[in-house]
Amino acid sequence: LWVNQEDGVEEGTSEVQNGHLDPSADCLCLGRTVQNRDQMRANVINEIMSTERHYIKHLKDICEGYLKQCRKRRDMFSDEQLKIIFGNIEDIYRFQMGFVRDLEKQYNNEDPHLSEIGPCFLEHQDGFWIYSEYCNNHLDACMELSKLMKDSRYQHFFEACRLLQQMIDIAIDGFLLTPVQKICKYPLQLAELLKYTAQEHSDYRYVAAALAVMRNVTLQINERKRRLENIDKIAQWQASVLDWEGDDILDRSSELIYTGEMSWIYQPYGRNQQRVFFLFDHQM
pLDDT in tens, 25-42: 555 555 567 678 899 999
Give residue 222's pLDDT. Answer: 84
Average pLDDT for consecutive 10-residue bins of the chain (284 residues)? Answer: 44 47 57 79 96 96 97 96 97 98 96 95 96 92 93 96 93 94 95 95 96 94 71 60 62 60 64 65 57
pLDDT at 25: 55
Residue 269's pLDDT is 63
The residues that bridge with 280 in the sheet, in sequence order, are: 256
- Which residues fall within 8 angstroms of residue 8, CB to CB, at 6 or more apart? none
pLDDT of residue 241: 64
Query: Alpha-carbon torsion 106, 107, 113, 118, what sign?
Result: positive
The answer to whether the beta carbons of residues 218 and 187 sit under 8 Å apart is yes
Report the distance separating Cα 239 and Cα 256, nearest Å.
15
Residue 214: burial class (beta carbons within 10 Å; 0-12, 13-18, 19+): buried
Q: Which residues contact 282 (CB under 8 A, 6 or more apart)?
A: 252, 253
Sequence letter at residue 35: Q
Rounded to the nearest angstrom, the gap between the alpha carbon of residue 85 and the centroid of all alpha carbons in its chain is: 20
pTM of the shown model: 0.73
Type of residue at 138: H
Which of 119, 92, 88 shows the shortest CA–CA distance to 205?
119
Instruction: Report the C-alpha gap between 124 and 277 in whole angstroms.
Output: 46
Beta strands, E only, the chain: 256-266, 271-280
Which domains are assigned to the chain? Answer: 38-235 (1.20.900.10)
Torsion-angle region of 276 (φ positive above 0: left; ψ -120 to 50: alpha; else: beta): beta
* Bridge partners, 273 (sequence order): 264
Which residues share a beta bridge with 265? 272
The pLDDT, as a whole number, for residue 264 is 63
Residue 242 to residues 20, 237, 239, 248, Cα–Cα distance (Å): 86, 10, 8, 13
